[in-house]
Structures are given as C-alpha cells and as structure tokens.
Amino acid sequence: MDLFLPYIACVTLALTVFAALRPSPPSLQIAMVAIGAAAGGWLIGIVTGSLSAFGDVSHGIFFIIFSLCAIAAAIRMITHQRPVYCALHFVLVVIASAGLLLMLEAEFMAFALVIVYAGAILITYMFVLMLANQAENPDEPYTQATYDRVPREPAAAVAVGFLLLCLITGTVTGGTSALPQQSDTNAQWFVLEKLSTQFEHAVFEVAPEFAWPPVSENKHIVQFGMDGAFIVSQKGEVLLLDKSMLPTNTQMVGWSLVNDFPVTIELAGVILLMAMFGAAVLARRAIELSEREKRIAILGQDTEEAGGDT
Amino acid sequence: MSSFAPSALAGYLIVSGLLLTIGLVGFLVRRNLIVMFLCTELMFQGAAIAFVAVGRYLFDYSGQVMVIFILTVAAAEAALALALVVLLHRQKETLDADAYVELQE
C-alpha cells in the first residue's frame, strides 16, 4: 500500500486539475485549486518523509510554504480565464520558485530569476496581451472569448501530463537514495587559490604576519588534513583556513560559467542578439502608402490640386 | 555548503516535476496563443528548480550555470514567439490557436 500512495496523490491531483479546468464559478475553481495544492503537498510529504530531512525544521516549513504557493499559483494560472491574470499568477510562481532557489543557496539565480522573469519577460507578455486585446462583445460584457473559456481536450491532456508526473514520482522515490553523496567542498578552495588577491586579503585579515606566498604542493597551495584545509608559508608557518574565506555563491557560478562553459556563453550572447534582430524584423510593419498619402503625411495637407506630380 | 539529504532533494525534484507537468497540461489545454507560451515558461521554471537542486546536492555549480542558459533561451523564445503572435494577430484579429489550423497543410 505504501508503494501506491504517491500514485494515489498523483491521481487526486490530476482529478482536481481536470475539475478546475471545466468552466465553473470562480469560488468553485478556487476550492479546486486549494484541493490540488493540498494533493501536491501530500505528494511532497510522502516523498520527503519528514520535515527534518531539510536539516532544520524551519527550512522544511519554508519549503512547504513556497512549494504550495508555486503549485497553487501554477494550477490557477492554467485554469484562469483571463490571460492577464494568468500572467500575474505566473509572477507568483516565479517569486515562489525564487524562494526555493534561495533555500538551495543559489542566491544569485534567485534574484536573477525575479529580475529577468518577473521584471523583463513577464512585462513583454503583458505588453503583447494589451496589444492583442480583444474587443469585448457588447452583448455580454465581462465574459472572455470562447477560446479562453473552453479548454481543448482537457481529459486527454491531464491524462498525458499526469502519466508523466507518475513516471517522475516513481523515478524520484526510487532513484534519489541511490545517488552518490559528494560532501567535499575542495573545488571551492581550488577556485579561491586562483583568485590570489582575494585569498591574500582574506589571509591577511586573519593572520597579518603570515608570509605570503605559501608553498605549493602538487600545483595546489591549499592542502587538506584532518582539521580541514590549511596553507603552509615558505617559513614553515601553518595556517588553518576558515570556511568563511571561501568564494561566495556568485563567484563560484561566475567561475564555473567562464571556466567550464566559455563557448556556450558566447553562443548565448549570439542567440540573444539574433532573437532581438528577429523580433524587430518580425514585428516591423511595412506600411504601403500611395504618393498622395505620403504627401499628406509629410506636408500635413493635400497639395495635389496645386499642381503636384501625377 | 552543508550536506543535503537525498529525501530533501526528492522534495525539490517533485516540486519541479509538478511545475513541469502543470505547464505541459496548460500548454495542451489552453487555446490562447499567449497563454500557451506562458505555460512553456512554467515548464522552464520546473527545469530550473531541478537543475539547481541537483547541482546543490552534488556540490556542482554547473546546475546554476544551466539556469543562466535557461533564462537566455526563455528570453529569446519570449521575444520571438511574441513577435510571431503579434504578426498572427494582425492577420486574423484573434488569438485562438485553432484559427490557424490551415498552417498545418
């Protein structure tokens, strides 16, 4: 029975999403979203086991809050009839997942996500939504167009989507405990020793009389012992290194970006440039004007009667 | 960085899987072109959380670098797709994906 609990949660979620997709009054839809978020929370609870898995109970509580916010906003986003509200609910998803990234110690990515997604991409969506706004039907004000109200094949779509979710759940519950646990943070020390100015300043703060530079052994100046990382100066002084000297998350991401993926970041730049040109070319509207219209546009009056060219 | 339990990783992966699935269902179900593209952004979100969580578990910063590339692709996709949507909307004055059925021929 324990084996089937995650799948039962998946099916509950699928049924509530299907029910929320049907055209129904808003209060009923909000209730469906709440049930869906509860089913998602149940699924997460089954898979995680207990809140202490996060090391700290407060961490676990924040995880539950952010993930429930993200799931509820996501369900509300795909079920809401008004596209502008869909976009606003997507902003909520972005902010909740930025919270999740913060707890994963990815501060830079969390803020980049909020700035780029909520700040830039969603504004573009909003502009286009306003630009392509439908004129309301005067007979039935405050109702959306049919294509916003009636979903397309909800049963088939929910079945396909949640089959995928069942697959993901099965893989995650069976697979994550088999992953190797890597606990060494040596890579960060090796990045720090490449940032030699920062390393020297950090060492100088702790031990001003330490004779820089330290000796290097096997091309690395940081050595590892029972008590952790240490460096040895030319005079034989030994200095134990504190973890607070380690490069920050942003520095490590930047290092990984330019050290491991130098070509990919160039390609990303080219993709963005091409997208900018492509969008400008696509959205440009070529207006065909006759000679007479051009004259009117430029001079502000029609000069044809005054003997203009024919 | 302190260590990270496998069951906590499982929690993050389930959240990312849920966002991916809901985005997929939304993409299939909605008929408004703009909302369909919004749902692909939701799927990108799920992928981003999975990348960062696994990167955090393995103490590998490549996961976060991948999120930078996801942001790049999402921005490029939003710019191009929305330009196309504006173009299509000018022709037919509707955002209904079913109105462009003749494109399949």
Q: Give per-residue pLDDT as tens, A180-193.
A: 766 666 777 778 87
Average pLDDT of chain A? Answer: 83
Contacts of B85 in chain A (CB under 8 A): 128, 132
Q: Are A230 and A223 in contact (CB under 8 A)?
A: yes
Residue A305 — pLDDT band, cuts 50, 70, 90?
A: low
The pLDDT score that the predictor gives to residue A158 is 92
Q: Give per-residue pLDDT as tens, B63-100.
A: 999 999 999 999 999 999 988 888 888 888 788 888 88
Structural domains in chain A, CATH included, are 5-173 (1.20.120), 186-245 (no CATH), 261-304 (no CATH)
The pLDDT score that the predictor gives to residue A283 is 77
Mean pLDDT of A244-268: 88
Would the pLDDT of A306 be above 70? Answer: no
CB contact (8 A) between residue B74 and residue A173:
no
Q: Give per-residue pLDDT as tens, B25-39.
A: 999 999 888 999 999
CB contact (8 A) between residue B82 and residue A264:
no
Residue A297 — pLDDT band, cuts 50, 70, 90?
A: confident
* Residue in chain B lying closest to A123 (CA): B78
Is the bond into A154 cis (omega within 30 degrees of 0)?
no
Q: Which residues contact A155 (CB under 8 A, 6 or more apart)?
A: A18
Most confident of the following: A29-33, A147-151, A280-284? A29-33
Would the pLDDT of A240 be above 90? Answer: no
Mean pLDDT of A54-73: 89
Residue A90 — pLDDT band, cuts 50, 70, 90?
A: very high
Mean pLDDT of B21-25: 94
Contacts of B38 in chain A (CB under 8 A): 77, 83, 86-87, 90, 125
The pLDDT score that the predictor gives to residue A184 is 60
Indicate the residue of A67, A108, A253 with minimum beta-carbon distance to B15. Answer: A67
The pLDDT score that the predictor gives to residue A108 is 92
Mean pLDDT of A182-207: 77
- Rounded alpha-carbon distances, angstroms, from residue B29 to A78, A298, A304, B26: 8, 49, 56, 5
* Identity of residue A54: F
Would the pLDDT of A172 be above 60? Answer: yes
Q: Are A39 and A12 in contact (CB under 8 A)?
A: yes
> Hey, which residues 205-244 in chain A have their CB within 8 Å of chain B?
none
Indicate the residue of A74, A151, A256 with minimum beta-carbon distance to B62. Answer: A256
* Residue in chain B lying closest to A283 (CA): B83
Contacts of B86 in chain A (CB under 8 A): 128, 131-132, 282-283
Asked if the B9-94 domain carries CATH number 2.40.110.10, the reply is: no
The pLDDT score that the predictor gives to residue A140 is 66
CA A46/CA A173 separation, integer angstroms: 9
> Hey, which residues 151-180 in chain A have their CB within 8 Å of chain B?
151-154, 156-158, 160-162, 164-165, 168-169, 172-173, 176-177, 179-180
* Identity of residue A285: R
The pLDDT score that the predictor gives to residue A196 is 78
Work out the minimum CA distance from B103 to partner chain A, whole angstroms.
17
Residue A160 — pLDDT band, cuts 50, 70, 90?
A: very high
Work out the minimum CA distance from A48 to partner chain B, whole angstroms.
5
- Rounded alpha-carbon distances, angstroms, from residue A300 to A287, A290, A296, A304, A306: 18, 15, 5, 12, 14
Query: Which phi and psi angles does B20 have, rounded to 5°?
Result: -60, -45
pTM of the model: 0.86
How large is the ipTM?
0.93
